[in-house]
Amino acid sequence: MKDIKYQVYPLFYKSGLVFILINCSMHVLSMAQSDNYWSWNLNTPSTLLAGSVVGGSAGPSAVYYNPALIDHENVPSFSLSASIVSLQFFKAHNFVGNGIDVDKTILKVQPKFLSFVLPSKNDRLGMEAAILSPVSEEMNYRVQHFDELDIIRRTQGNETYSGYLNYSRKYDDTWGGFGLSYKLNEQVYIGLSSFISYKSMDYEYKQRAEAFQEGDSVLINQSKEAKYIALSSFEEEANYWDVSLVFKGGIQYKSKNERLSIGANLTFQNIPLFGHADVRKSLSRSNVYDNSTDAFTPNDIFIEFEENASLRVKTPFSSAIGLIYFSENRRNIISFTLEYFHDIDPYAIIDVNREVNNEGTYLDKNINKNEFLSYYHSANSVTNAGIGFQKYISPALVFLGGFRTDFASGKEDDMWVIQDKFKFSQIHMDKYHISLGPVINIKQFNGVIGIQYTFARNNDLSSIINYAEPVEFIPQTDQALKGERQNTTEASIDEISIFFGFTVDIIK
């Protein structure tokens, strides 16, 4: 039976990860928390199987998906997988107002995955060390909108209107850790893994609106006055890094004929160790006229920042169950995994509990002054499913494929706030991943080449801002030079990722 396994799984039963920086952190840019828990690409074979490896066939990624699956064959091996390139096409219709769209193409290289399966003199014990990046997200876009319209009612004639938006966010989570598995008997294995998780964030959002006449003077009630520019702007910047502990526990059961394998894995909520956060926000408004009072609103510029703010990043508890089934001739294998992620109640990621001195927020909600510099996060419970298949072609070739859901955990439709508190602006979209590719086995070398297509849609979003129908001033919301947000935004993501991975046996 062992020989059959090596033929059907030339990569999975020989591979492992090189341990390079156990419990060491890598500096990566990121933003907020991930809205999609199953977007990660850890190890090429498990990715091509859509992550449906909790029941078996996890190979080098066992330390993450189910530590009970860590190799017991005592074949130390080096394993590396990386995405050669990922090309993402992001589109948002009516994103900053009706008729104003965003179309962005992002080219990126995915983080690598490294592991080492350690030799053991005890044939009941398996050991593995790994460095991996469960989450790698990036989004940035810029919008510049110009129009000619009569937005300033007190002056005669049209104004030049300019609306500008700049958004950038990156989010990665890098883990370094170690896992153990133990064979209780021929049918039952248990395992435990622990990781140090390093998260970091870099987030920037800027919006600016202006209205002015091109001449040197303006006409008001048939009288000329000096030209002026009505202006309103808001900017926010935040960054943090966070270090925490993550523990996983797993179990596997194999039938006596080894045609069925069932596994389960628990991922516990992270335990915070230490971190650092910086926040800066600024507001400005000048020469904005309130027609309801026939007076200018106060000119104002407001800048607040906080260094080394209180930081707490939570990840959800999750439980996964999976199975893998072999056909009688063992040339066709089907695998399935289901994982439930618990919800997260609203809490402060960055907590700055002090009153600021601004008189108005100039935003869509009346943010409490004590919470102006804080950022909050929450998440719904989510259940994702993945299914994979393996087709044995020859001892040198196995074909893999899979499909998995990746539902968004975002708890609020509003991209700005959670219960009248700031959150990191983010678009919530359900994603779906389709993957396929071959495993090639040549002596002590195993290689994998694969492709993954990801698509996401959300057709019921509120625009992030409205530059299409600007209003000089809205007293009820204290907003200037922009219109009321509309629920007409339609967003989509299409992404192609190309993967390459290899495993080399160190001892034959």
> Residue 52: which residues within 8 A CB-CB, separation 6 or more?
322, 324, 335, 336, 337, 386, 387, 388, 402, 404
Range of the domain at 202: 2-505
What Cα–Cα distance (Å) separates residue 286 from each residue in 233, 281, 293, 472? 10, 17, 16, 12
Is-contact 57 9, C-beta < 8 A?
A: yes
pLDDT 10s digits, 392-410: 999 899 999 999 999 999 8
3-state secondary structure of 283: strand
pLDDT 10s digits, 196-228: 999 999 999 999 999 999 988 998 888 898 999
Enumerate the H helices of 308-448 as residue ranges. none
Q: Which two tokens stand for residue 324?
A: 């893998």
Q: Which of 17-21, 104-108, 233-237 has the lowest mean pLDDT?
A: 17-21
What residue type is 355 in one-letter code? E
DSSP code for 443: T
3-state secondary structure of 182: strand
Residue 421's pLDDT band (boundaries 50, 70, 90)? confident
| Phi–psi pair at 423, nearest 5 degrees | -130, 165
Q: What is the CA radius of gyration of the chain?
A: 27
Q: Which two tokens stand for residue 399?
A: 């074909």
pTM here is 0.86
Mean pLDDT value across the chain: 85
How much is the average pLDDT of 398-427? 82
Residue 22's pLDDT band (boundaries 50, 70, 90)? very low
Q: How many folded domains does the chain comprise?
A: 1
- The dihedral sign for the CA sequence 118, 136, 56, 195: positive
How much is the average pLDDT of 112-129? 86
Q: What percent of the chain has pLDDT over 90?
A: 59
Is-contact 373 306, C-beta < 8 A?
A: yes
Q: Which of 44-48, 105-109, 359-363, 386-390 has the lowest mean pLDDT?
A: 359-363
pLDDT 10s digits, 121-168: 888 999 999 998 888 888 889 999 999 999 999 999 999 999 999 999
Predicted confidence (pLDDT) at residue 40 exceeds the cutoff of 80: no
Looking up residue 164, the CATH number of its domain turns out to be: 2.40.160.60
pLDDT 10s digits, 55-78: 998 888 899 999 999 987 656 667
Measure CA of the first residue to CA of the last residue in the chain; give whole Å: 19
How much is the average pLDDT of 251-257? 95
Residue 415's pLDDT band (boundaries 50, 70, 90)? low
DSSP code for 408: B
Predicted confidence (pLDDT) at residue 11 exceeds the cutoff of 90: no
